[in-house]
Amino acid sequence: YEAGRTPNPDILCNSKIKFGVFLDEAMRLGADYIATGHYARTQDIDGKVQLLKGADTNKDQSYFLYRLNHQQLSKAMFPVGEYTKPHVRELAKKFNLPNHNKRDSQGVCFIGKLDLKKFLSQKIKDHPGDIIDSSGQIIGKHTGLFWYTIGQRKGINIGGTGPYYVIKKDLDKNELVVSNNSEDQALFLSKVFISDVSWISGEPPENSKTLEARIRYREKLSPVTLKNKENGVFEVNFSVPQWAVCSGQSVVFYEADACLGGGIING
CATH number at residue 139: 2.30.30.280
What are 132-155's pLDDT values in tens digits? 999 999 999 999 999 999 999 998
At residue 107, the pLDDT reads: 64
Rounded average pLDDT over 197-219: 95
Establish if 238 belongs to a structural domain.
yes
Q: CA–CA separation, 165 vs 257, rounded Å?
A: 34
Q: Are residues 166 and 221 in the same domain?
A: no
* Cβ-based neighbours of 260, under 8 Å, separated by 6 or more: 66, 199, 200, 201, 205, 211, 253, 254
At residue 115, the pLDDT reads: 77
Establish if 100 belongs to a structural domain.
no
pLDDT of residue 267 exceeding 80, the answer is no
What is the Cα Rg of the chain in Å? Answer: 20
Q: Are residues 173 and 198 in the same domain?
A: no
- The total domain count for the chain is 3
- Selected residue with higher pLDDT from 114 and 213: 213
> What pTM was computed for the model?
0.93
What are 39-59's pLDDT values in tens digits? 999 999 988 899 999 999 999
Rounded average pLDDT over 113-124: 82
**Structural domain containing residue 238:** 186-265
Q: Are residues 61 and 15 in the same domain?
A: yes
Among all residues, which ones are annotated catalytic?
A: 13, 109
